[in-house]
Structure 1
Amino acid sequence: GLWHLRLASSNLPLILENQQPFYANGLSFIHNGDISDDQGRNIITNRAFPVDPNIVQSTGGRSDSAIFFAVILQYIGFGFALDEAVAQAVRELRKSYPKSSYNCMIQSQGQFIALCAAGREVTSKRIVEIYDQYGRGDQAHDYRVMRYRALGESEADQAAGQPKGVVVASSGFDQRAEDGWTRLENDRMIVASNRTGAFRVRSI
């Protein structure tokens, strides 16, 4: 399942419709990022951005995350597989918002995808200030980091290369390498089967 706890993006209102995960077309979706330009104007204010407003409405949200989800849904509608629809959506959004963060997770009945696609390597001053306000300034450096850990890997499973699943998490708690956590590099996604637990890492 998907679980998500975060503050709203770029001064967007804290409204019930923007609570995540979003759910549409048999998919659940969470986004831990902010899609804004260099002046801090969020994509939600960009009426010219080419996304079908009916699809945005179908997500139930009114935020940059809802627009991101809607762009993914559009690419699925064009016939792309789920992982490639996510990759295509990021490519399109980056044409207008190259420095934004597109870290997300999306899940269908049969598949789970986790993407790390941050536009900035260094956490912005605005985010550090927010962390400082909550007494967590020392954790701000981990803001855009995602890590994963294979599950159920006995020695026999490891030899056969058959993990029983994968857990993916962003920041907020210790994810030590000695406990099996691996950093998901930028512009990479995990594509996992909900049925077998098998997963692979691909670039976008």
Structure 2
Amino acid sequence: MCRLLGVVTRAPLPLAAALGELTVPFTELSREHGDGWGIAAWPGAGGGRPRVVKGIASAAGDWLWEHALAGTHADAAVLHLRMASPGLPVVPGNTHPFTAGGLAFAHNGFFSPYDTLDELIDPGLLAAAGGSTDSERFFLRVRTLLRDEDPVDALARAAADIRARASFASLNCLLLTEEALYAYADEDPDSEVSRRRGPDFFRLRYRADGDRVLVASSGVPQPDGAWRVLPHRQVLEIRRDDLGVRVHA
């Protein structure tokens, strides 16, 4: 399984400064979740695309990871540490976040069969897939839906499509757009992973500090009172323009 971390700040900052006290403990999680890492970050207001940096080694001890955290100035970012599903190669094409235009997407969990969404994905998008993961298919389904729906509905509907067609452990994910960072929480508490790792493993939590909003998987310090649990099958929206936070049922 993987680990997710998202941040939105009031003004562009080096990522290490934006993440603050979470920088070291999140990096340490890569000693277990060590099958690559990725960062997608918006450098500030205006158009364009998020900057993307990826590696296929463990983030812990990877100079490129450290360089990206120190040298990337951003006001919104998604970070991902990968633990590859059995049988899926550790290659750049399978490394999150997946990106397209002004979108970046990262997933924590798995569903099976991995191609269960293929008939619901625009054929042109499916043909251009860069890797072989179920997670990228999740993103391609979201992209297909975004042609007619807003990000909140697209995430919820794509997850519902998976639940109707596949077995899964977790559908937790982050979607970064030009306007906002979105987080979706969903898990199967009866999956083998949930039973083995415990009820907190797939929790997504978020906190607002005034000048930043964070959303993170379990494994980093999340003291009670400062962090709120994102309820299952709900979408957290964090606006980039004013740090407005809303949870959509």
TM-score (norm 1): 0.76
- In the TM superposition, what is the alpha-carbon distance from 1:91 to its structure 2 partner? 1.4
Match of 2:217 among 170, 186, 189: 170
Q: List runs of 5+ in structure 1 lacking aligned partners.
A: 37-41, 129-138, 153-163
Structure 2: give runs of 5+ residues left out of the alignment: 1-76
Within a 5 Å distance, the mapping from 1:76-95 to structure 2 comes to 76-77=146-147, 79-95=148-164
How far, CA to CA, are the matches of 1:195 and 1:26 in structure 2? 16
CA distance in 2, matches of 1:50, 1:8: 24
| 1:101-142 Cα distance to aligned partner (Å, 9 max, x none) | 210000111111001011x125625983xxxxxxxxxx6543
Q: Tell me if the contact between 1:190 and 1:201 (Cα under 8 Å) persists in the aligned partners.
A: yes
Q: Is the 8 A contact 1:56 1:66 kept in 2?
A: no
Render the CA deviation track for 1:153-204: whole Å, top value 9, x for unaligned.
xxxxxxxxxxx542100022121114x011111111101111110010112x
Question: Does the alignment pair 1:56 with 2:132?
Answer: no
**Which AA in structure 2 matches 1:14?**
V
Under a length normalisation based on structure 2, what TM-score does the superposition of the two structures give?
0.63
Paired with 1:142 and 1:126, the residues of 2 have a C-alpha distance of: 8
SS of structure 2 residue aligned to 1:177: coil
Work out the percentage of aligned pairs sharing the same amino acid.
29
How much is the aligned-residue C-alpha RMSD, in angstroms? 2.3
Distance 1:125 1:111, change over 3 A: closer
Q: Is 2:102 aligned against 1:29?
A: no
Alignment check: 8 A CA contact 2:82 2:96 kept:
no
Preserved contact between residue 117 and residue 141 of structure 2 (Cα < 8 Å)? no
* Cα distance in 1 for residues equivalent to 2:126 and 2:104: 14
For residue 114 of structure 2, the aligned residue among 43, 47, 52 is 43
| Aligned partners of 1:24 and 1:59 also within 8 Å | no
Other-structure match for 1:132: none
Find 2:192's aligned residue among 120, 124, 127. Answer: 124
> Contact 2:118–2:137 (CA<8 Å) still a contact in 1?
no
Change (3 A) 1:51 1:184: same
Bigger proportion of residues as strand: 2
Structure-2 separation of matches of 1:10 and 1:142: 23
Match of 1:68 in 2: 138
Shift of 1:11: 2.9
Aligned pairs, number: 173
Q: 1:58 to 1:151 in 2, by over 3 A?
A: farther
Question: Which residue is 2:79 aligned to?
Answer: 3
Q: Distance in 1 between matches of 2:174 and 2:129?
A: 15
Higher relative contact order (CA 8 A, sep 6+): 2
Tell me how far 1:52 sits from its aligned partner.
3.0
Which residues in structure 2 correspond to 1:146-185 (within 5 Å)? Answer: 146-152=204-210, 164-178=211-225, 180-185=226-231
SS at match of 2:81: coil
Cα contact 1:56–1:70 (8 A) shared by 2: yes
